[in-house]
Amino acid sequence: MKKTLVGCLLLCATINLFGQADAPVNTYNTVRLVGDAPRIDGLITDASWDQAEWGGGNFVQRSPIDGAEPSAQTKFKILYDSKNLYIAIRNYDPDPSKIVSRLSRRDGFDGDRVTIMFDSYFDKRTAFSFTASSSGVKGEEYVSNNGENWDEKWDPIWYLETSIDDQGWVAEMRIPLSQLRFANKQEHVWGMQISRYFFRKDEWSLWEPVALDAVGWVHHFGELRNIKGVKPQKQLEIQPYIVAKTERHLREEGNPYATGKSSDVEVGIDAKIGITSDITLDLTVNPDFGQVEADPSQVNLTAFQLFFPEQRPFFLEGNNILTFPTSTNFDNLFYSRRIGRKPQIRVDTDESGNDDVDEYVNASDNSRILTSMKLTGKNKNGFSWGILESITHKESAEIDSLGIKREETIEPGTNYLIGRVQQDLNEGQTVFGGMVTSVNRKNEENTYDLVDNAFSGGLDITHFFNNRKYSVAGKIAASKVDGSFRSITRLQESSERYYQRTDNDYRHVDTTRNSLSGTSGTVEFGKRSGKLLFSSALSWNSPGFEINDVGFLSQTDQISNRSWIRYRIVKPTNLFRTMRIDARPIQTWDYGHNLLDRRIEFDSYFQLKNYWEVGSGGHTEFFNASNADLRGGPSLVYPNSSSYWIWAATDNRKKVRFELNPWWRWSDENFRSTNGWWSRLTLRPTNALNVNFTGSVSWSSNQLQYVATKEFNGENRYLVANIDQTIYNVSLRVTYVITPNLSIQYWGQPFAASGKYSNFKRVTNGSASEYRDRFQLLNTSMAEDADEINIDENNDGITDYSISNPNFNFAQFQSNMVLRWEYIPGSTLFLVWTQSRNESPSTDRYSFDHLYNSLFEKYPNNVFLIKYTYRFVL
């Protein structure tokens, strides 16, 4: 496979580009401001605007009718001085009374709006995007990878006012040059694009035309010229904060750590410092992550960890720089949620040796981040880099036993270092780069289950040719971890690899190892434009590959071939405005050359002439096996399954929108079945109020759900059973926007899940050709206390072994209410109320009302906090 990757790299290096002459693009000559700056009031009546000529008036529709005249034209003026850009955009409208001015939180992107983008690096790959809605709501995004990544967490300081008059609506902006990045030279040419969304017609128009089926985005921009004598501004922003928090929860008799209430005050500081025009330092000391919205509730019955997206602002902004996907799914060399994670060492409460003594534990939910810094930049030669370093504090749990207290380390102090570089060549037609990560822990005796050091690194290259219609890409990554014998043995036996599998004849657990290493990679070729698009990729994760100390990796020991083909029509027809149909054949093997998966997935999307949207999809399996589901047992072959889903949504422009998504799954031998539905109702009673209600219900059954592994007669028994599972999930989000800078939002999520097991089985030959030959039905009985299932394997009337009763009922309610006031640009005040309830009702009933009644009888955990920030711009 390494030879394949080398061949890919050589191909990229040797392809001859028969370039075509660049087509002329729209240009606008700005003017340096003389005299007083215009007042930003949304009226553009200041005499200073007379110094600039109107640009635009030649916008071209991009959607729905590519290249057509838009329903209304757009014009603009741009002035500049040594510190700012001044922009006036007039959005003409034949009927101004129908302009849709919907209020939303920042980055809400609702209603009529216009966006101006600057490629101030002029590298044809990156841009700074500023959006103004007719209601005065601001939005910003940092665009990278030629339009493939849009980072809406980028949060610059700029100024906007809008107004509606008898010609349409106006957006007036002031953008400090300190918020942009550009080279130090006497005269500048920047890439520029302006796009307008005409809401009631669901229509996009552009200043510089870009065809709907074109490849890329930024390299198509027009040009902003005549910027002379401006110097890159060194950005210096310091944002101290203070958080006051009080918590109310159920008091637990005898527990000194559950007194029913607690309070705390914390202070910290965030800073953004422009080292040079090309380098920015983001720094946080004692960062506050109290504003994080709770992760959605889920039930995980698989062997693998769940992926949850990052929600912390420091790690979100610019996260498109520090990323290196390794193969498929969410696998990545850097997963920022590893930093400040929940402590990984379980507290030992049995040290007293007296089972009659209650021991109480006081432990943090997360590892405390002492400081983090992020250094990012890009120079005029197309070389970009990002470096992140974080230090987390040693976390200890305090255990109280009859008033005698002791401490146990539950997470050692850790240093995380991540570095990423990329180089653009030939206006971004070739991009290559690399990434390295390092994790170093100060382990102690009771933390030897964790590795001491973890390193990973990767190289990647992408090359576009034939006017960017085709691309070839390759990447390779390697990892190495070292630590105690115990930590490396744990990794060999973990769900990511299961070296101890009984049918694993190419890897074995070695308890004398103190390191583990492996590789991952992908080679891909594809077509990116036109009606017919496709790609084909070969990916692999070797068994020893391990990046979970600071990355995300779900499973190793896989070689996959994934292809994708899409047919699309982007211009309206008599039936629809746009459509696409996708198909994805997939094959996967393990490193023992055993087939694990062969399937085809498909889906489609149509936007109808009445602006409704419909879609459908599903999959069909031709072979499906797992070498992980028995948690270290042999591979288990499943009967083939198929699934189908449909989705429909009403017009997104209306004040009432409804979406519905039912799905079905079935299989041979009735081995598995799933059905359910998901729906969403969005209401806009007024332009200031948005109500979003989401609900889903699913019912599933599985005859081969893993339950436990038990030893009997010197052999492991891998036990599975039928499970009937029901999940209810509801979410309500209500947002009331008082002004573009002041809003109140409530979010609440009730969640309930239940699972009932029956027909327990022992896997005897997981790969037998006949389904019924893969397992043996077991004779079981319930223990008197209903906490255990007794198993009589040889049917002699005597219990041979027992397992914990796996039946479950679980209910949870999470909610928060946030008042957010950006009282001056970049400075905010938050008032937050968070509530949570968790309950595991008895398993004698499985009804919806049983779950929720038990939940709301539970005493809630309430958290109230105030967060105040002030941003100094120096």
**DSSP notation for 657-718:** EEEEEEEEEEEGGG-EEEEEEEEEEEEEEETTEEEEEEEEEEEEEEEEEEEEEEEETTEEEE
Largest distance between two CA atoms of the chain: 100
Encoding tokens for residue 541? 């994760």
Contacts of 678 (CB under 8 A, 6+ apart): 659, 660, 661, 662, 663, 694, 695, 696
**Residue 29 to residue 51: CA distance in whole angstroms:** 12
Residue whose C-alpha is closest to residue 113's, from 49, 177, 194, 225? 194
552 touches 541 (CB < 8 A): no
- The β-bridge relationship of strands 149-151 and 60-63 is unpaired
H-helix or E-strand containing 830? strand 827-839
Q: Which residues contact 546 (CB under 8 A, 6 or more apart)?
A: 454, 479, 481, 491, 496, 516, 518, 553, 556
Query: Is residue 97 one of the residues assigned to a domain?
Result: yes
| Number of separate domains in the chain | 1
Q: Is 136 part of any domain?
A: yes
Mean pLDDT of 41-65: 96
Residue 188 within any structural domain of the chain: yes
**775-798 b/e (C-beta count within 10 Å ≥ 16 → b):** beebebeeeeeeebbbbebeeeee
User: How deeply is 354 buried, as exposed, middle or buried, from its count of CB atoms within 10 A (0-12, 13-18, 19+)?
Assistant: exposed
Instruction: Quote the CA–CA distance of 270 and 256 in Å, as a whole number.
Output: 35
**Across 529-671, where does the E strand assignment appear?**
532-541, 558-569, 576-589, 595-608, 613-626, 636-638, 641-649, 656-667
What is the reported pLDDT for 236? 85
pLDDT at 356: 55
Residue 853 has pLDDT above 50, yes or no: yes
Q: Contact, 428 vs 146, CB < 8 A?
A: yes
pLDDT for 315: 83
Helix and strand tally (H, E) in the chain?
4, 48
Residue 518: inside a domain: no
Q: Tell whether 313 is covered by a domain.
A: no
Average pLDDT rounded to a whole number, residues 495-519: 95
pLDDT at site 707: 96
Please tell me the predicted confidence (pLDDT) of residue 321. 85
| Paired strand residues for 519 | 478
| Percentage of the chain exceeding pLDDT 70 | 94
pLDDT bracket for residue 378 (50, 70, 90): confident
**pLDDT of 291-341, one tens digit each?**
445 666 777 778 888 888 887 778 877 777 899 998 767 899 999 999 999
The whole-number pLDDT of residue 6 equals 42
First to last CA, the chain: 53
Nearest of 133, 135, 100, 130 to residue 116 by alpha carbon: 130
Contacts of 849 (CB under 8 A, 6+ apart): none
Phi and psi angles of residue 774, each rounded to the nearest 5 degrees, phi first: -90, -10
Identify the pLDDT of residue 328: 67
Q: What is the pLDDT of residues 153-189, one digit of tens each?
A: 888 999 999 999 999 999 999 999 988 988 888 999 9
Q: Does residue 583 sit within a domain?
A: no
Asked whether residue 144 is domain-assigned, the answer is: yes
Calpha distance 555→543 (Å, rounded): 9
Each residue's pLDDT tens digit, 511-548? 999 999 999 999 999 998 889 999 999 999 999 999 99
Q: The domain containing residue 84 runs over which residues?
A: 2-231
pLDDT band at 8 (very low <50, low <70, confident <90, very high): very low
352 or 405, which is more confident? 405
* Dist. CA 672–CA 800, nearest whole Å: 29
What average pLDDT score do residues 636-644 get? Answer: 97
Beta-bridge mates of residue 225: 29
Looking at residue 645, its pLDDT comes to 98
d(CA 23, CA 14): 26
Give the model's confidence band at 13: pLDDT under 50 very low, under 70 low, under 90 confident, else very high. Answer: very low
Which CATH number characterizes residue 35's domain? 2.60.40.1190
- H-helix or E-strand containing 316? helix 313-316
- The partner residues of 31 in beta bridges, in order of sequence, read 79
Burial of 36 (0-12, 13-18, 19+ CB in 10 A): exposed
Helix (H) or strand (E) holding 144: strand 138-144
What integer best gives the mean pLDDT of the chain?
90
Cβ contact 615:660 at 8 Å? no
- Does residue 384 form part of some domain? no
Span 862-872, average pLDDT: 91
Dist. CA 489–CA 516, nearest whole Å: 9
